[in-house]
Structure 1
Amino acid sequence: MLLQTDEVHSLLEPAYAPHRTGRMHSIKGGRWRIPKFLPSVRQRYQLAMMQRLGLDAVVVWNKIVNHPLAFDDNIPLIHFERGSAWLAADAPGLRRYLARLDGVLCNSYAGLRMLQLKWQLDPDIPYRVLQNAIRLPDQASTHPGDRFRLGFAGRMTGLKAPMVALETFAELKQRCPEAELWIAGSGPLEPVLKRWTAQWGLNDSVHFKGLVDDMSGFYASLDAFICPSWREPFGNVVQEALAHGLPTLVGNADGLPELVHHGVNGAVLTPGRSRQSLARYDPRCAQGPDEIYDPTTDRLVEAGVLEPTEAATVLEGWARDPALRRRMALAAREQVAREFDLDRYGETLVDFVDSVIRS
């Protein structure tokens, strides 16, 4: 581990503690930190360190611009794309980095196409799509017939579109009076959502759970899940929801359709309106990246958002048919066990790195 920060996050510290000696190294210097205003000195230290460690390859985690690490031309360089390609601004350093690569890992096919379409990544560079993996949880929704709990989880920012989830629920509530919306997470749009929840008379039906420690318990308490994000390179919360047996509704954007198969384990809808329509609730609801990958046309397009009436119609069908939800839940958990196995993930990653080294 070549660390560009001085500390490991507290949640990860227990896992990395046994490897601190010999396996973890600061790129800012050894015993003494080399200051930023001596970049050539720091680079010489980094190159010497990599030679001393005898590295066979360097895998860069989700960073394509403004690299603080000097790369040895004699050591294979592999980029692991997990969303950086959507947000980076064009710069000479970005182009030099992509031209230097010996291999590319992507956690979605959308990530690979974003690199190729937006940044003209050489299509002949060896690549592997390696979707995130997850252990199949013991807990799962049982889908009782006397309730319908819709869930949303994520940071409450514009591109996660929590306002679309609330719009959709407001429409659904008119058709299914027993419906509830459970929201996990926090963020700058939380006061906006609470204000409109009150204005629409939904305070008794919308439950803001805040930061949830037991996310497995949260998912298992739901009956369906919605991820209305207009940009989502992969969709961790979607994978987690499916793993807990939740039919999941997403937009046809970026990597989301790689997880949800329409009519099998959820629904994939076309974002049918401009996201600027959300600005009437608060200008921040429409803030975020403009460009996304459209899997249907295989090109970059302007981001849009879901139509709440269309989404509510799908959810109404699920609410009225618990048996359908149970069948979709079974398909979802079977897919997770089959396609997102954690052991196979590690083997595939190592095999790809080995193949790049050999070539």
Structure 2
Amino acid sequence: MRIGITCYPSHGGSGVVATELGKLLAEKGHDIHFITYDMPFRLGRFHQNIRYHGVEAHRYAVFKYPPYDLALASRMAQVAKEYQLDLLHVHYAVPHAIAAVLAKQMVGDHLKVVTTLHGTDITVLGEDPSLRDVICFGIKHSDAVTAVSDDLARQTRELFCVNTDCVNKEIERIYNFVDLRVYYPRGVEHLREQYSDTGEKLLLHISNFRPVKRPLDVIAVFHRIASEIPARLLLVGEGPEMPKVIQQVQELGLEEKVVFLGKQDEVAQLISLADLLLLPSEKESFGLVALEAMACGVPTIASTAGGIPEVVTHGQTGFLAQVGAIEEMAQYALMLLRDETMYQAFSEAGLDRVKQEFCGLKIAGQYEALYQRLLSR
């Protein structure tokens, strides 16, 4: 098959999943064309079945802002015609689904459009009245719509498919995934001394440090843990809440125990260093970082928000608590960190769950089956 893929190429779960899916499909012999405004950061080395097509939105005097959505639709149509694409698989509803639908109208109905919803395009943008109709339009006119969790599919139906003409639109759940050749338990004990002293437990948080990720809860949970056992916290990422996080760390006297690592392109090795992942998010449509941690044998302490319970099995691969339940999360973490037998059981259960449910080849096969169903109609 000849497949065009559009995503946000920067750091973020949707871009990571879209890029990794394209790479897996290319390995299986499909021709993959990434159509984005920048090279996806996870694209990596050259592959003969992958091409990148840049999108440029030029400035014109009559436009206050460069018309990126129109430039994207035009580029999609151009690539579809030149390379005779079978379908466009777009990740994120706006503007990608709208641009793909417009490109299809320019090229012809033989070009199919698959839209994958990842979360904030529904749970955040969907709350904006000025965007609701356009998101609904993208869902309605896509040939197939997928969501990365059952919870996100449910929210989408409730927000966009009730009392509208897309009420009968099927939304298929296809989970996110990890490439087990990249995410696996690595022997990195020799690196721990760079971040912690002997006997200290290492906790980890990775996010874009926005309020919805509740990074201040991360610090509060860690403070309670560190008051009872020797521990350090690694923070990976950047975002608008970081100044508040730094202030909180200083106020609690944790400067020597919290390590700020900033943005990191490759996190598999860092995850393997950790003993626990902390993910107390207020909203989380899937929780990709929890899946990546499980694949590295690292249990997660998380909230029950969104799709996280579909990834982390409470009492087996990690522990879950209500959003904001700082004391409960801290006690769960201490329980695991103090009980080596329990910890090992959780680690092994997580590895098994990833292999059974979230293996990259399995999920890529589900997308392939979806594509083939569309093209055979």
Question: When the two structures are superposed, what TM-score results if normalisation uses the length of structure 1?
Answer: 0.76
- Aligned-pair distance for 1:190? 2.4
| C-alpha distance in 1 between matches for 2:79 and 2:179 | 36
Preserved contact between residue 4 and residue 28 of structure 1 (Cα < 8 Å): no
Task: Identify which range, 41-50 or 231-240, moves more after superposition.
Answer: 41-50
- Aligned-pair distance for 1:173? 2.4
1:59 maps to 2:59? no
Preserved contact between residue 200 and residue 231 of structure 2 (Cα < 8 Å): yes
1:130 maps to 2:183? no
Aligned partner of 1:242 in structure 2 is 294
Distance 1:9 1:16, change over 3 A: farther
| C-alpha distance in 2 between matches for 1:3 and 1:195 | 41
Aligned partner of 1:293 in structure 2 is none
| C-alpha distance in 2 between matches for 1:141 and 1:119 | 47
Q: CA offsets, 1:200-223, max 9 Å, x none?
A: 122222222223455222222211
Q: 1:150 aligns with which of 203, 211, 221?
A: 203
Aligned partner of 1:227 in structure 2 is 279
Aligned partner of 1:113 in structure 2 is 154
Aligned partner of 1:87 in structure 2 is 124
Distance 1:42 1:311, change over 3 A: closer
Distance 1:98 1:329, change over 3 A: same
Q: Give the 5 Å matches for 1:178-193.
A: 178-193=230-245
1:161 maps to 2:214? yes
| C-alpha distance in 1 between matches for 2:188 and 2:214 | 28
Instruction: Look up the equivalent residue of 1:61 and give its one-letter code.
Output: H
Q: Which has the higher contact order (CA 8 A, sep 6+)?
A: 1
| C-alpha distance in 1 between matches for 2:132 and 2:305 | 26
| C-alpha distance in 1 between matches for 2:246 and 2:70 | 51
Q: Give the 5 Å matches for 1:1-359.
A: 1=4, 5-9=36-40, 11-12=42-43, 14-15=45-46, 19-20=50-51, 50=80, 53-65=83-95, 67-69=98-100, 70=102, 71-72=104-105, 74=109, 75-83=111-119, 84-88=121-125, 89=128, 90-120=131-161, 122=166, 124-136=168-180, 137-140=183-186, 146-174=199-227, 176-212=228-264, 214-271=266-323, 306-359=324-377
Preserved contact between residue 141 and residue 219 of structure 1 (Cα < 8 Å): no
Preserved contact between residue 242 and residue 265 of structure 1 (Cα < 8 Å): yes
| C-alpha distance in 1 between matches for 2:146 and 2:350 | 25
What secondary structure does 1:316 align onto? helix
- Aligned-pair distance for 1:94? 2.6
Gaps of 5+ in 2: 5-32, 58-62, 193-197
Instruction: Look up the equivalent residue of 2:303 and give its one-letter code.
Output: G
Distance 1:142 1:317, change over 3 A: farther
- Aligned-pair distance for 1:349? 0.4
Aligned partner of 2:23 in structure 1 is none
Instruction: Look up the equivalent residue of 1:81 and give its one-letter code.
Output: L
| C-alpha distance in 1 between matches for 2:296 and 2:77 | 45
Preserved contact between residue 304 and residue 322 of structure 2 (Cα < 8 Å): yes
Q: Percent identity?
A: 19
- Aligned-pair distance for 1:260? 0.5
Preserved contact between residue 64 and residue 98 of structure 1 (Cα < 8 Å): no
Task: Identify which range, 60-69 or 94-103, moves more after superposition.
Answer: 60-69
Distance 1:353 1:209, change over 3 A: same
Instruction: Look up the equivalent residue of 2:149 and give its one-letter code.
Output: S
Preserved contact between residue 55 and residue 71 of structure 2 (Cα < 8 Å): no
Instruction: Look up the equivalent residue of 2:236 and give its one-letter code.
Output: A
Preserved contact between residue 205 and residue 218 of structure 2 (Cα < 8 Å): yes
Preserved contact between residue 205 and residue 279 of structure 2 (Cα < 8 Å): yes
Distance 1:264 1:354, change over 3 A: same
- Aligned-pair distance for 1:139? 2.6
What secondary structure does 2:282 align onto? coil
Figure out how many residues of one structure are paired with residues of the other and give that number. 315
Preserved contact between residue 102 and residue 126 of structure 1 (Cα < 8 Å): no
What secondary structure does 1:155 align onto? coil
- Aligned-pair distance for 1:344? 1.5
Question: When the two structures are superposed, what TM-score results if normalisation uses the length of structure 2?
Answer: 0.73
Q: CA offsets, 1:99-158, max 9 Å, x none?
A: 223211222112211211111174643443211221333435899994422211112221
> Alignment RMSD, CA only?
3.3
Task: Identify which range, 53-62 or 107-116, moves more after superposition.
Answer: 53-62
- Aligned-pair distance for 1:348? 1.0
> In terms of Rg, which structure is larger?
1
- Aligned-pair distance for 1:191? 2.8
What secondary structure does 1:14 align onto? coil
Preserved contact between residue 148 and residue 179 of structure 1 (Cα < 8 Å): yes
What secondary structure does 2:176 align onto? coil
